[in-house]
Amino acid sequence: MFVFRRQTAMADQQRPGEAAGPGVIEGDDLALEAPDRGSADELLDAGAHAPLDLMRHSAAHVMAEAVLALFPGARLGIGPAVADGFYYDFELPRPLTPDDLAAVEERMRTSIAADHPFIRRELPFDEARTLVAADDQSFKVEILDDLAAKAAAAGEPLPVTTFYEHGAFRDLCRGPHVESTGRIGPFRLLAVAGAYWRGQESRPMLQRVYGTVWESQEDLDRFLWRREEAKKRDHRRLGVQLDLFSFHDVSPGSAFWHPKGQRLWRTLETAMRELQERHGYEEISTPILVNHRLWEQSGHWDHYRDNMFVLDIEDQAYSLKPMNCPESTFIYRSKTRSYRDLPLRLSEFGRLHRNERSGVLHGLTRVRHFVQDDAHVYVRPDQLADEIGRLIAMVRESYGWFGLQPRYTFATKPDGAIGDDALWERAETMIRSALDDAGVTYTVKPKDGTFYAPKIDIYIDDALGREWQMATIQADLTMLPERFDLTYIDEHGAPQRPIALHRAIYGSLERFIGILIEHFGGALPLWVAPVQVALIPIADRHADPADELAALLRGRGLRVDVDRTDSRMQNKIRLAQEQKVPVMVILGDREVEARTASVRRRDGSQEQGVAWDDLAARLAEEAAARAV
């Protein structure tokens, strides 16, 4: 069973890094708190700089001042510095419009030009509470009351509170700030969005205004440029432009794969299948529609039902499978397993449905229907470390196909986990030594495992520096083995429990493809490109020879399209460039006569007079190398 981390929250940056063996990076919080979904404009800056943070938080104060001036009754939430800027949450009498944002910006500029100093004031707790209550700032009152409660719980006296003032504006704030408003650099307000007070759906919806501030105009311009660049790489836009997939309202959250997208899909699938077969995997396929009894047995009915599509069939509740694992156990149990049969590696490109809330769907990276390159590996305890080593090798190889550098985290037993402590400790020790043996560097995330297994999660940073969670490897000693009563017969004839490794390397094919598209900006490496070669006959009389060459290339397994339209060669090149085809092959009189080709690469480089056979051999070799 996979529980992919819900990607909206990685709220554990307060946890201390756990001491661990050699090669372990201690709690690398900055890296961990980055969102791991990353729509196009969620570009992360490479770490926040302290002076910038002061400026950003100060800008939030100035923004609050401006909003309060425009909406005197506004209530303030919180206004922290974030990755690329800042935000402040407000409760306002009406929704903000783009015009409002412009007005707020204008007032902010005035305040910055006035260069008001930020003045820190300390107030005894009771006075502070009276003050914010008199201002009718109920959210601030709540913050103070929470602080008081926390102090009481810790047996400490009521804390002294601090306020920061600039001009006529005063805000409860821990600080620190820049010296004066004039120190705030070039800024831009970006967006207004709804945000629940304290992120809880049961609390009021506030209006969050996002802004960005930088030390120089240059930095601001670069940031805005990067946002634009990210938009161009957005896989939803490129998916349409490159004719890979589309979405339709008859099935929200599920992609329709066009022929080119399906080529890409199959290439990835074939490569993974080939890798798995080399590593002793056997492929299975299990039903999508399953009686709810199975989910009761697996525990999903209790823990995961809200995310499952449930159907009523002849008075029985069935569900579309949200995970593959329980069904794999039926195949395991289909015969008596010997210790000699293990490891048993069962892979499945499983078609899954999860009922994600409508508001969180997002292109290919957050969908309701997807395919996992899933596998369950049943091992004896003495085989676990080796098998994890094998999996890490598989991750390294396959990520190498795309030039991606995997990073590893090790997530340990969460609160409320099932299974006894001794089993957990055993599993964690085994994973840890497997990681050490594999010589990988990893970060420990305490208490971040699934409720049934400690796990290794694998992340990458894409070309724009965004972090994505990709593969996962989970060592399950409890869930499948115990609940589904899995056994093998050991060398003494006694039944024993196997360990079930749950793992996915691409994760979901949909999501992986979305990430690849953004990482490469649509210019996919030759080996995965849906169209590897665009054959461009200069005139009609070159079209038949082009077909002949295309057949030769296809014979070597290459994906080739011939442009037989009557447009000019320049236009055909332009089209192929726009489609980001890696290789364009141009045929005119000279080439046809000599049985050669003029080869133009996506990067603009050219090579003339390449013999057809050479071309076929070289491109086939290049594609087979599976390299960037």
Partner RNA sequence: GCCCACAUAGCUCAGCCGGCAGAGCACUUCCUUGGUAAGGAAGAGGUCAUGGGUUCGAAUCCCAUUGUGGGCUCCA
Smallest distance from RNA to CB 221, Å: 19
Between CA 440 and CA 405 the distance in angstroms is 12
Q: Which tokens in the block code for residue 56?
A: 């950003």
Smallest distance from RNA to CB 62, Å: 14
Cβ closer to RNA: 195 or 509?
Answer: 195
Cβ closer to RNA: 297 or 577?
Answer: 577
Q: Which of residues 542-571 bind RNA (CB under 7 A)?
A: 565-571
Kindly provide the residue ranges of all beta strands, DSSP E only, lying in 497-558, ordered along the sequence: 499-508, 533-537
Residue 396 known to be catalytic: no
Q: Can residue 137 be called a binding residue for RNA (CB under 7 A)?
A: no
Helix (H, G, I), strand (E, B) or coil at 19: coil
Cβ closer to RNA: 253 or 481?
Answer: 253
Closest CA to 5 of 440, 500, 467, 499: 467
State the maximum Cα–Cα separation within the chain, in Å, rounded to a whole number: 94
How many residues at the interface with RNA, by CB under 7 A?
83
Smallest distance from RNA to CB 484, Å: 33
Cα dihedral 480, 485, 489, 495 sign: positive
Q: Which of residues 189-208 bind RNA (CB under 7 A)?
A: 191-196, 198-201, 205, 207-208
Strand 596-601 relative to strand 606-611: parallel, antiparallel, unpaired? antiparallel
Q: Which of residues 580-619 bind RNA (CB under 7 A)?
A: 584, 586, 588-591, 598, 600, 604, 606, 608
Interface pattern 206-225 for RNA (x via CB under 7 A) = -xx-----------------
Among the options 321, 502, 572, 626, which is catalytic?
502
Q: Among 573, 610, 620, 628, indicate the residue that binds RNA (CB under 7 A).
A: 573
Residue 173 known to be catalytic: no
Cβ closer to RNA: 72 or 359?
Answer: 359
Q: Which of residues 58-97 bind RNA (CB under 7 A)?
A: 78-80, 82-83, 95
Q: Which of residues 323-362 bind RNA (CB under 7 A)?
A: 357-362
Among the options 234, 374, 448, 457, which is catalytic?
374
Closest CA to 373 of 301, 275, 245: 275
Cβ closer to RNA: 253 or 498?
Answer: 253
* CA count, 13 A, side-chain hemisphere, 499: 26
Smallest distance from RNA to CB 266, Å: 23
Q: For residue 176, with 0-12 CB atoms within 10 Å meaning exposed, 13-18 middle and 19 or more buried, which class applies?
A: middle
Count of beta carbons in the 10 Å neighbourhood of residue 431: 25
Cβ closer to RNA: 137 or 347?
Answer: 137
Closest CA to 514 of 40, 10, 33, 34: 40
Closest CA to 184 of 321, 294, 86, 253: 86
Between CA 34 and CA 467 the distance in angstroms is 7
Smallest distance from RNA to CB 332, Å: 37
Smallest distance from RNA to CB 126, Å: 13
| Integer CA distances (angstroms), 277 to 260, 346, 413, 524, in order | 26, 10, 32, 25
**Contact indicator for 339, 380 with CB cutoff of 8 Å:** yes
**Contact indicator for 374, 348 with CB cutoff of 8 Å:** yes
Residue 231 known to be catalytic: no
Residue 325 known to be catalytic: yes
Cβ closer to RNA: 60 or 431?
Answer: 60
Q: Among 58, 137, 161, 472, indicate the residue that binds RNA (CB under 7 A).
A: 161
By CB under 7 A, which span of 6-14, 435-443, 499-507, 511-519 interacts with RNA? 6-14
Between CA 471 and CA 395 the distance in angstroms is 8
Cβ closer to RNA: 81 or 475?
Answer: 81
Cβ closer to RNA: 195 or 346?
Answer: 195
DSSP code per residue over 330-358: HHHTTSPPBGGG-SEEEEEEEEEE----G
Q: Among 146, 179, 296, 485, indicate the residue that binds RNA (CB under 7 A).
A: 146
Closest CA to 375 of 502, 529, 486, 221: 502
Between CA 574 and CA 556 the distance in angstroms is 26
Q: Which of residues 36-65 bind RNA (CB under 7 A)?
A: 39-42
Cβ closer to RNA: 48 or 628?
Answer: 48
Smallest distance from RNA to CB 341, Å: 44
Helix (H, G, I), strand (E, B) or coil at 252: coil
Helix (H, G, I), strand (E, B) or coil at 309: coil
Residue 469 known to be catalytic: no
Q: Which of residues 230-289 bind RNA (CB under 7 A)?
A: 236-237, 240-241, 247, 249, 252-253
Residue 372 known to be catalytic: yes
Q: Among 1, 2, 3, 10, indicate the residue that binds RNA (CB under 7 A).
A: 10
Strand 596-601 relative to strand 583-587: parallel, antiparallel, unpaired? antiparallel
Q: Among 17, 117, 159, 446, indicate the residue that binds RNA (CB under 7 A).
A: 159
Q: Which of residues 486-545 bind RNA (CB under 7 A)?
A: 538-541
Between CA 466 and CA 392 the distance in angstroms is 22
Interface pattern 379-408 for RNA (x via CB under 7 A) = ------------------------------
Between CA 531 and CA 260 the distance in angstroms is 7
Residue 362 known to be catalytic: no
As annotated, the active-site residues are 325, 354, 372, 374, 376, 455, 502
